[in-house]
Amino acid sequence: MSAGLQANPLLRSGELPRFDLFSSDQIVPDVRALLAELGRELDRLESNVSPTWDGLVLPLERMGERLGHAWGLVSHMLAVRNRDALREAHATVQGEVIAFGLRQAQSRAIHEGLLRLRSGPGFTALDATQQRIVECLLRDARHAGVGLEDAKRLRFNAIQTELAELATRFNNHVLDATRQFGLIVRDPAQMAGTPSSLRELAAQNAREHGEAEARAESGPWRLSLDAPVLFPFLEHGEDRALREQLYRASITRASSGELDNTPILEHILSLRQEMARILGFASYAELSLDAKMAPGVAAVDALLERLRQASLPGARQDLEELRGFAAAHGQTEPIALWDVPFWAERLREERFDYSEEALRPYFPLPRVLEGLFVLAKKLFDVEIGAADGETPVWHPDVRFFRVRDASGSPIAAFFLDPYSRPGDKRGGAWMDDCLGRTRRPADGVACNPVAYLVCNQAPPVGGRPSLMAFDEVVTLFHEFGHGLQHMLTRVDHGLASGIRNIEWDAVELPSQFMENWCYHRETLVGLSAHVETGEPLPGAIFEKIARARTYRAGSFMLRQLYFAMLDLALHREPGTDRRERIFEIQRAIAERTTVIPPLSEDRFLCSFGHIFAGGYAAGYYSYKWAEVLSADAFSAFEEAGLENARAIAETGRRFRETVLALGGGTPPMRVFEAFRGRPPTPDALLRHSGLAVAAA
C-alpha cells in the first residue's frame, strides 16, 4: 500500500474505522486511489498466475478485504448518516467500484488459474473450507459473466452498473418519501386511544419540526411513516379516518412525483431478466437459486405452497373473528385494511388480558441488553461488555461492545445503533460486516471480527431510556443472532469466515433461532425490569405472551408467503417491463395469499427495499426456508430440556461449534446436519406457529 493510502485511517483495512475522521470529501479521491493501486496489483497477478492457494486465492482475498473495507464504510454511512454530499460522492465512484469488481471476476487468466488449481494435484491437499472457497469463486465467476463473448460481456457489465445505481436511487427515494411525509395533529380527540409513549415521541417529532410548544399531553403532535410512530398509531389510534390516511400514505410511499419508484422497479426487473438470459438462465429466479441452499425453484414452490395451505384456513378464521369483534364493539363499516391492526390489538388485549404498550416499561434497552448478554454467556460461553469511548462512532446514540471468550481474551466486537432517525437513517433493522475474521499477511495472526448491529426502535423520550415494544426486543435478538454468526466464526479464511459465503437462504438460521428465546420464561423475565419499580415481568404476563405467540399465526405466516411468492413470481417472468403487468402479478398472488385484497392503489412494491435494493431479489423466501432450519434447531434445545442448565449449555456449545463457527466454509446442509444429526423438517415451525393440525 502506498504511503498516501497508509496515511488515511479510513482506508486501513483490518482496523476499526475512524468515524471521527470520515468526510464525504475524501470518498472520491481516496476510493479512486485505492482502485488504481488494486488495479496494478490485479495486473501483476494476471501476468503471472500461480495456480496455488497462496499464489492466487490469498491475493484475491486480500484485494477483496481492502476494497470491501473502504467501500463497505461508505455504504454503511450512506445507510446510517445519509447526506446529500455523501450521496453525490457515492454515486460518483459507485460505477468505478463495480467495474473493478467485474474486471476481477471476469478475468479469464484468474479463472483459468482457479480451474487449474481445482484440477491439479494440490487441490486435494487443501482443507474442505479452502476447496469450497475455490468452487464458490468459480461459480461466482460464471455468474459474473467470465465466459461471455465481448458484446455480451459489455452489455452484462452495463446492466450491473445500472442495477447498482437504480438500487441506490430506490433507497434514497424511500428515505426521502418517508422524511417528507408529516402530519401535524392539533386536536387531542384525534389522538384518542394512543399510548403515552407514542404521544411523547410524536410531540418530540413536532418540536423537531418547528412546534416549540409541543407537549405529549396537549400537543401538537407530528405523525409520520416512521415505524415507531406509524405502527403504534395503526394499532391504537381510535380515529378511523386518520388511520386510513396514514395507511394509504404508507402503501403509496415513493410511488408518485419526483420520488416515484415505479419506473425504477420496472427497469430493475427488466434488467435482471435480461442479465439472467445473457448468462443462460431461463429467469432471474433460476439464476438466484443457483447460488442458494434450496435445490431449485420447484423445491421452494413446494415449501411455500405447503405453508400456504397450512396458514390460509387460520388466516380466514382470524379475519372472521376480527369482523365479529369489531361489529360487537360498534364498528358498522366493513372491516378495512387500516382496521385490522387496531381491532387485532383490541382482541388480543381482551383475549390475553395485556397490552403491548403496557409491556414497554418492562423492557428498557439497558436491561434488555444485559439479559441478552447473560443468555449469550449461558449458551455460548462468551462475555460481552461495554467499551464505549474506546473507538469513535458515527452518532452519539451508537454504542460499542467487546466480546471475550471464557479466558477473558477479546475475540470480537460490535457497534450497536439502536434508534430510529428518519431524517438520515434507512428504515428496518440489519446486521453488517465491519471487519471480518482473516489472518494478517504480515504475521498470520487472526484479526478479530467486528459487526454493525442496526435497529430502528423508539428512541429515549422524556428523560427515560428507550422503552422497547416486545417486537423490538425480538428484532434485537434477531440481529444479534446474525452478529453471533459473524463474531463467533472459527474460519480463518476471509472469503468464508462469519456470514461470508453462506448461502442466502441459510443465513437467517441463527437470527431466527435467537428469536425463540424471547418466548423462554427464564430469558424474557430475566431481561425485564420495570423502568420505575425495577420489578421483573410478572410470570402471569409471561404466560399470556407465550399463549399469544400463536395469535393470528396464520395471518402473519400468510403475509410473509405473499411477499415471498410475489418476489418469485416477479423474477420468473420472461419480462416485466410493463407497469400493468407488474401489478397484475401482484393481484394474482394476492388472490392466493391474502384474505382482504390490497387496495387498487396499493404500491407497497415501491418501498419494498428487500428485493429492489437489498439482497433478497428472488430470495425473500429465504426467511421461511431458514425459519424451517431455525425452528428445527431450537427444537434440539427443547428436546434437551429448556430448564436443564447443563443440557442447554452442552447443546449451546454444539450450536456454537457448528452453526456459528463453521460460517461459509461448509455447505449449510452439512452444517445443519452436524448440529442436528439429521436433515431439517418443517414440523417444528408448524408446531411453534400453532399450525401443525392444519398442515396434517
User: The whole model's pTM is what?
Assistant: 0.92
DSSP class of 467: B
Instruction: Report the alpha-carbon distance of residue 544 to residue 542 in Å, rounded.
Output: 5
* 223 DSSP β-pair partners: 183
Determine the average pLDDT of the residues in 405-420: 96
Any idea which residue has 484475491 for its cell? 60
Contact of 419 with 457, CB cutoff 8 Å: yes
How far are the Cα atoms of 323, 427, 514, 618, 691 from residue 564, in angstroms, in the given order?
Answer: 27, 20, 22, 8, 19
Spatial CB neighbours of 584, under 8 Å, sequence gap ≥ 6 = none
Spatial CB neighbours of 614, under 8 Å, sequence gap ≥ 6 = none
Contact of 80 with 16, CB cutoff 8 Å: no
CATH topology for 258-353+553-620 is Neurolysin; domain 3 (1.10.1370)
Whole-number pLDDT of residue 446: 80
For residue 627, pLDDT over 50 is answered with: yes
Q: Which of 356, 357, 479, 515 is catalytic?
A: 479
Mean pLDDT of the chain: 94
Domain boundaries, the chain: 3-147, 181-253, 258-353+553-620
Determine the average pLDDT of the residues in 658-686: 95
Stretch among 275-279, 474-478, 579-583 having the lowest mean pLDDT: 579-583
- pLDDT tens-digit series, residues 57-98: 999 999 999 999 999 999 999 999 999 999 999 999 999 999
Any idea which residue has 430475566 for its cell? 526
Residue 693 has a CB neighbour count (10 Å cut-off) of 11
Count of CA atoms in the C-beta half-sphere (13 A) of 7: 6
Any idea which residue has 453525490 for its cell? 88
Contact of 74 with 85, CB cutoff 8 Å: no
Enumerate helices (H) and strands (E) in the chain, giving the number of each.
Answer: 28, 9
Stretch among 303-307, 316-320, 579-583, 627-631 having the lowest mean pLDDT: 579-583
Instruction: Report the alpha-carbon distance of residue 36 to residue 63 in Å, rounded.
Output: 12
Helix (H) or strand (E) holding 687: helix 683-688
Residue 339 has a CB neighbour count (10 Å cut-off) of 21
Contact of 420 with 385, CB cutoff 8 Å: no
Determine the average pLDDT of the residues in 551-556: 96
Q: Is 320 a residue of the active site?
A: no
For residue 355, pLDDT over 90 is answered with: no
Determine the average pLDDT of the residues in 469-495: 97
Whole-number pLDDT of residue 105: 95
Whole-number pLDDT of residue 227: 92
470: which 3 cell numbers?
A: 416486545
Any idea which residue has 400453532 for its cell? 690
What does the chain come to in residues? 696
For residue 8, pLDDT over 90 is answered with: no
Whole-number pLDDT of residue 58: 96
406: which 3 cell numbers?
A: 471464557
For residue 484, pLDDT over 70 is answered with: yes
Instruction: Report the alpha-carbon distance of residue 131 to residue 81 in Å, rounded.
Output: 39
Whole-number pLDDT of residue 690: 87
- Give the β-pairing of 183-185 and 221-223: antiparallel
For residue 311, pLDDT over 80 is answered with: yes
CATH topology for 3-147 is Glutathione S-transferase Yfyf (Class Pi); Chain A, domain 2 (1.20.1050)
Higher pLDDT, 650 or 4: 650
For residue 164, pLDDT over 90 is answered with: yes
Higher pLDDT, 183 or 578: 183
pLDDT tier at 5, thresholds 50, 70, 90: very low
CB neighbour burial string for 502-512, b if at least 16 within 10 angstroms, e if fewer: bbbbbbbbbbb
Determine the average pLDDT of the residues in 650-662: 98
Instruction: Report the alpha-carbon distance of residue 199 to residue 203 in Å, rounded.
Output: 6
For residue 6, pLDDT over 60 is answered with: no
566: which 3 cell numbers?
A: 410475489
Q: Which amino acid is it at 480? A: F
148: which 3 cell numbers?
A: 461471455
- pLDDT tens-digit series, residues 462-479: 889 999 999 999 999 999
For residue 149, pLDDT over 50 is answered with: yes
Whole-number pLDDT of residue 576: 54
Count of CA atoms in the C-beta half-sphere (13 A) of 618: 24
Determine the average pLDDT of the residues in 585-589: 96
- pLDDT tens-digit series, residues 364-378: 999 999 999 999 999
Please indicate whether the domains covering 3-147 and 258-353+553-620 agree at the CATH topology level: no
For residue 602, pLDDT over 80 is answered with: yes
For residue 316, pLDDT over 50 is answered with: yes
638: which 3 cell numbers?
A: 427443547
